[in-house]
Structure 1
Amino acid sequence: MSQHALSDDQVSQELKKMTAFIKQEAMEKAKEIQIKADEEFAIEKSKLVRQETQTIDTTYEKKFKQAQMSQQITRSTVANKTRLKVLSARQELLDGIFEQAQKKLGDGAKDKKKYEVILKNLMLEGFYALNEHKLQIRARKADYDVVKKAIEMATKEYTEKVHKKIEASIDESDPLPDGLSGGISIVGGGGKIEINNTFEERLVLLQENALPSIRLTLFGKNENRKFHE
């Protein structure tokens, strides 16, 4: 037996030392692994948080834009509906005004003296426009007596102002319909030119020409319009 052989106690001590060393090494290694794992976890966690935050931000921004767009569409729809309702109400009012005027057209022919003056002025308008020596007047049969007096008044005034004689007579072969409210037509150009000065036609002209002024009076200036009559 060698003199250098270890005793059982020595062997046991050496084994304990080796075991303690290996255990210490293992614990240090495990700690290193744990630290590295924690670092990697923190990095991955931060990465995932950033990704999720970006995703949430992107989703929120997208939904916010969609909400804004939806709100704009809703506002535009409501505004258009309101505008159409206002325009419809205004048009109804305007239509009502002209309907009432239509119903009262016949009142202009009730007072014969006033009606004579009206007819005279309507004739003069045609006389000046046509500027012819001989003209014919179309009228309702019921108005013939009044029209004859108006012709006398109109031809006299025309001659005095223009210093030219003019002849005008009733065209009894082609009277105006009895259903009209009043007024006349002046025919010239050998029967080819006719100026319609019936009450109904004058109302139509008034509706076309005076409508912008009526709108302005009733509703005020439209700020949304770029051009105005």
Structure 2
Amino acid sequence: MSQRHALSDDQVEGELRKMTTFIRQEALEKAREIQIKADEEFAIEKSKLVRQETASIDVLYEKKFKQASMSQQITRSTLANRTRLRVLSARQGLLDELFQHARDRISSASDDTKQYQAVVKGLVLEGLYDLNEDKVAIQAREKDYGVVKQAIEEAKMEFKDTVGRDIMVEIDEKNPLPEGLAGGVVIVGGGGKIHINNTFEERLRLLEIDALPTVRETLFGKNVNRKFFD
């Protein structure tokens, strides 16, 4: 058997230093690997968190933007409606004033007897043509009876010239029109069942209904009229 030579203290110390250096080197390399892997995982996690937070911020921003847009639309709509109502109110006021002025004017329409008689004749004649009967009655204000009688005679003559036959027309003195009316007549036919209201107030009311769209267009314009009144 061969004999092993015992190592000296210096040799043992040298071997220990080598082993220690090796172990330290291994530990440092392992630590570097762990650090690199930790840095990579940290970078990945950091990127993931950044993406998540970015997405969360984008969602929050989109939500806030939609809320702001909706709020802005509601505000605009509210202001537009308020403006529209004010415009409508102002325009309706102007139209009311216009037709009120017309009502004020017709209150003195019967002052000119000659002109008023011609108007009444036209109103009576219109009723005679519409009814086309042999006998009709005329309702009028009591103070207009004289003018109305003259107008009736002229209307009867024109009716005969146009239609070719006589017609009986008389004033219904039992049912006079209210003195508060501005003027005009009511033509009664059909045995008292048919009334054609040709008073000034009624004609103006019908005119107001028929002419209102045209008046609006004339005053405010065609496009504006459609936008605000249709």
Query: Is TM > 0.5 for Structure 1 vs Structure 2?
Result: yes
Provide closer, same or farther for how the CA distance between residues 50 and 225 of structure 1 changes in structure 2, counting only shifts above 3 A: same
Unmatched segments (≥5 aa) in structure 2? none
Residue of structure 1 in register with 2:189 after alignment: 188
Aligned-residue CA RMSD (Å)? 1.7
**Which residues in structure 2 correspond to 1:1-229 (within 5 Å)?**
4-222=5-223, 225=226
After superposition, what is the alpha-carbon deviation per residue over 1:2-31, rounded to whole angstroms, capped at 9, x for unaligned? 751111111111111111111111111000
Distance 1:105 1:224 in 2: 28
**SS class of match (2:107):** helix
Distance (Å, rounded) in 2 between the aligned partners of 1:93 and 1:148: 39
Return 5+ residue gaps in structure 1 as ranges.
none
Deviation at 1:225, TM superposition (A): 3.9
Return closer, same or farther for 1:224/1:189 CA change in 2, 3 Å cut-off.
Answer: closer
Q: Report deviation, 1:86.
A: 1.2
TM-score normalised per structure 2: 0.94
Amino acid at match of 2:130: A
CA distance in 2, matches of 1:217, 1:132: 40
Q: Distance in 2 between matches of 1:224 and 1:24?
A: 93
Offset at residue 201 of structure 1 (A): 0.5
Q: Which amino acid aligns with 1:178?
A: E
Identity %: 65
For normalisation by structure 1, the TM-score amounts to 0.94
Q: How many residues align?
A: 227
Q: Which amino acid aligns with 1:194?
A: H
Residue identity matched to 1:96: E
The AA in structure 2 aligned to 1:8 is D
Aligned-pair CA distance for 1:222: 2.9
One-letter identity of the residue aligned with 2:39 = D
Counterparts of 2:82 and 2:127, CA distance in 1: 46
Residues 182 and 201 in structure 2, CA contact (< 8 A), matched pair in contact too: yes
Distance 2:11 2:123 in 1: 146
Separation (CA, whole Å) in 1 of partners of 2:93 and 2:180? 26
3-state SS of paired residue (1:108):
coil
The 3 A distance-change label for structure 1 pair 64 and 218 is same
SS of the equivalent of 2:66 reads helix
